[in-house]
Amino acid sequence: MKIELPEKVKTVIGELKAHGYDAYAVGGCIRDSILGRTPGDWDITTSAKPQQVKAIFPRTVDTGIQHGTVTVLMDKEGFEVTTYRIDGEYEDARHPKDVIFTSNLLEDLKRRDFTINAMAYNDETGLVDAFDGIADLKAKRIRCVGEPTERFTEDALRMMRAVRFAAQLGFTIEDATRQAICDMAENLSKISAERIQVELVKLVTSDHPEEMKTIYDTGIAAVILPEFCTMMETEQHNPHHIYTVGVHTIRSMQEIRADRVLRLTMLFHDVAKPVCRTEDENGIHHFHGHPEVGAEMARKILRRLKFDNDTIRKVTALIRAHDDRPPLKGRAVRRAIFRNGTEQYPELFEVKRADILAQSSFLQQEKLLYVDRYEHMYRQIIEKHQCLSLKDLAVNGSDLIARGIQPGKEIGVILHAMLEQVLEDPKLNEKEALLDWYFNSNK
Ligand code: ATP
Ligand code: MG
């Protein structure tokens, strides 16, 4: 098998070889090349020790020198060059106690997670596939290198990686590997939230977010996201729904583009339905208040998973707004945009459509038509540059101070009163008119 290595990768490997070392492109880049996918990065594995790598290349960065990794810079591009290694005894399920450098490619490949990730290639030797990675690629199978329970004991995160690769590649997890995940999911409690977050994001932004079902079925969710288990186990007896909260959630993720914030929003948009559920005298379930309660639950979950504040802010705002349905009148739509925050638009329409598409067919066309009309009105309002927030208001704090209002809380109160007027009637967004209105009505 011939793999087309990028010129710079050939150069790095060529230089290492010219100095008497062994070197291969390895792991994800080989897997992706064989699959015809564009590799995210090209990793290189070599017999050269980090100091020896640094001696060869003029520009290097010590990215993980304690793990044997040096980044070699070629122009602006960086390539991680890692010395062959086998992991020593594991102290816990997280970190190798010591990493012993070996001069053996096979030992290096043996410590990789899955057979499809354990192949190496250079032009001279060709493909090194000691664990039948090619066969598993053909069978679209995620399989551990060696004994799954052992491998998951060494690093529990590999269980999430298995599901994440299944989701990215559209593969299935081989039986013994899957069984080991079911048996050992509990070990994920030892893994840092940061590492779990990385894999969860890759999974939810993949082509197959429905693999969240596997996260539930294997017991991973019970450890990293118990709220999702509750969703999977909550029925919705309501004409608008045909699925449990969890299955509706998964369907809604499939209905939205693979954007990080949007997929996370769909994952958590109904997280509060289980706690907000009530049943009326006809046995119909209602979920009053679930967007607000859900936004707060999502905030806690996202914090726990160590998401950044910007992501948390965007996701929770979309969750809070996802069920907001203003009457389709100019003033009501402008108020809604102000209420939900201009920053949530136009993404909010994508959220609403995905949510509807994952519901029952009851009134579905009507609901979609409503969103179309809402969006149409939104676009017109934007085109006309109508005022939608304090920053668009023709009056600001200094204008009020110039008119003798004391700096302080009152300024905000007045500006909001003016904004209320302008949301009602955009023509009023004119400095003198607004000031006159205020000072005349408050004489
Ligand atoms: P991508 O970069 O597309 O997410 P990848 O396969 O390149 O996928 P990385 O996390 O970049 O994944 O890791 C590069 C390679 O290192 C993997 O292909 C695998 O061989 C090895 N590897 C990474 N993480 C682990 C792990 N936790 N346990 C064992 N091997 C791992
Ligand atoms: Mg990679």
What is the per-residue pLDDT across 23-46, written as a single tens digit (0 to 9) for each? Answer: 999 999 999 999 999 999 999 999
User: For residue 181, what are its two tokens?
Assistant: 């995940």
The yes-or-no verdict on residue 437 having pLDDT over 80 is: yes
CA-based nearest residue to 101, from 40, 21, 183 = 21
Say whether both 80 and 169 belong to one domain.
no
Residue 103 has pLDDT above 80, yes or no: no
Compare 413 and 95 and report the one with higher pLDDT: 413
Q: pLDDT above 90 covers what percent of the chain? A: 93
Are 115 and 217 found together in one domain?
no
Assess whether 106 and 145 both reside in one domain: no
Last residue of a domain, one of 223, 257, 275: 223
Do 376 and 238 belong together in one domain?
yes
Is 93 domain-assigned?
yes
Give the three-state DSSP class for 144.
strand
CATH number at residue 88: 3.30.460.10
Determine the pLDDT at residue 255: 98
Report phi then psi at 333, rounded to 5.
Answer: -70, -40
In a domain, 165, yes or no: yes
Q: Is 70 contained in some domain?
A: yes
Q: Which of 9, 87, 117 to mutate to test the pocket of ligand 1 (most atoms within 8 A of CB)?
A: 117
Q: Whose CA is nearest to atom 1 of ligand 1?
A: 28
Mean of pLDDT values over 167-172 = 98
Q: Please tell me the distance from the alpha carbon of residue 53 to that of residue 15, in angstroms, as a whole number.
A: 10
Q: For position 127, what pLDDT does the model report?
A: 96
CA-wise closest residue to 379 among 338, 421, 337, 341: 337
Q: Is the pLDDT confidence value at 94 over 90?
A: no
Extended beta strands in 259-356, E state: 278-279, 285-286
Compute the C-alpha angle 9/28/89, nearest 5°: 110
Exposure string over 323-353, b if 16+ CB within 10 A, otherwise e: beebeeebeebbbbbbebbeebbebbbbbbb
* Stretch (H or E) spanning 63: strand 60-64
What's the pLDDT band for 232 if we cut at 50, 70, 90?
A: very high
Taking only the tens place, the pLDDT of each residue in 283-330 is 999 999 999 999 999 999 999 999 999 999 999 999 999 999 999 999
Residues 245, 342, single domain; the answer is yes
Task: Give the residue, by CA position, lying nearest to ligand 1 atom 6.
Answer: 28
pLDDT at 89 (0 to 100): 46
- Indicate if 176 and 61 belong to the same structural domain: no
CATH number at residue 247: 1.10.3210
Tokens at residue 423, please?
């949301």
How high is the pLDDT of residue 86? 65
Least confident among 84-88, 277-281, 283-287, 291-295: 84-88
Domain boundary (383, 412, 431) is at: 383
Among candidates 203, 270, 241, which has minimal Cα distance to 359?
241
Query: Are 126 and 205 within one domain?
Result: no
Confidence (pLDDT) at 441: 86
- What pLDDT score does 87 carry? 61
Answer whether residue 88 shows pLDDT above 60.
no
- Output the domain CATH number for residue 219: 1.10.110.30
| 208 and 313 housed in the same domain | no
- Residue 96's pLDDT is what? 56
| Residue 433 belongs to a domain | yes
Does residue 349 share a domain with residue 248?
A: yes
Among 112, 128, 151, 206, the mutation site with the greatest number of ligand 1 atoms within 8 A of its Cβ is 112
**Per-residue pLDDT band at 1 (split at 50, 70, 90):** confident
Residue 178 C-alpha to ligand 1 middle, in angstroms? 18
412 in a domain, yes or no?
yes
* CB neighbour list of residue 72: distance below 8 Å, 6 or more residues apart: 12, 44, 53, 57, 59, 60, 78, 79, 81
Pick the residue whose CA is nearest to atom 26 on ligand 1. Answer: 113
Q: Which domain holds residue 433?
A: 395-439
Structurally, the chain folds into a number of domains equal to 4
Confidence bin at 90 (pLDDT 50/70/90) = very low
Cβ–Cβ under 8 Å, residues 286 and 280: yes
Same domain? 285 vs 420: no
Pocket of ligand 1 (CB under 6 A): 27-28, 40, 43, 112-113, 117-118, 155, 157-158
pTM strictly above 0.75: yes
Does 294 reside within a domain? yes
Q: What is the pLDDT of residue 442?
A: 79
Question: Is 70 exceeded by the pLDDT of residue 182?
Answer: yes
Domain final position from 360, 383, 406: 383
What residues contact 34, with CB distance under 8 A and at least 6 apart? 1, 3, 119, 134, 137
**Region 224-246 average pLDDT:** 96
Looking at the fold, whether 362 and 421 belong to one and the same domain comes out as no
Which amino acid is located at 169 in the chain?
Answer: L
The pLDDT of residue 428 is 94
Nearest alpha-carbon partner for 232 in 405, 240, 218: 218
DSSP calls for 308-327: -HHHHHHHHHHHHHTT----
DSSP3 helix / strand / coil % (the chain, rounded to 5): 55, 10, 35
Give the Cβ contact number of residue 272 at 10 Å: 24
Q: List, in sequence order, every beta strand (DSSP E) within 244-309.
A: 278-279, 285-286
pLDDT at 397: 95
User: What pLDDT is recorded for position 104?
Assistant: 85
CA separation for the pair 227, 16 (Å, rounded):
50
Question: Does residue 390 lie in a domain region?
Answer: no
- For the residues 145-151, what does the mean pLDDT come to? 98
Question: Is residue 50 assigned to a domain?
Answer: yes
Mean model confidence pLDDT for the chain: 95
Q: What pLDDT band is residue 138 in, cutting at 50, 70 and 90? A: very high
Residues 375 and 241 placed together within one structural domain of the fold: yes
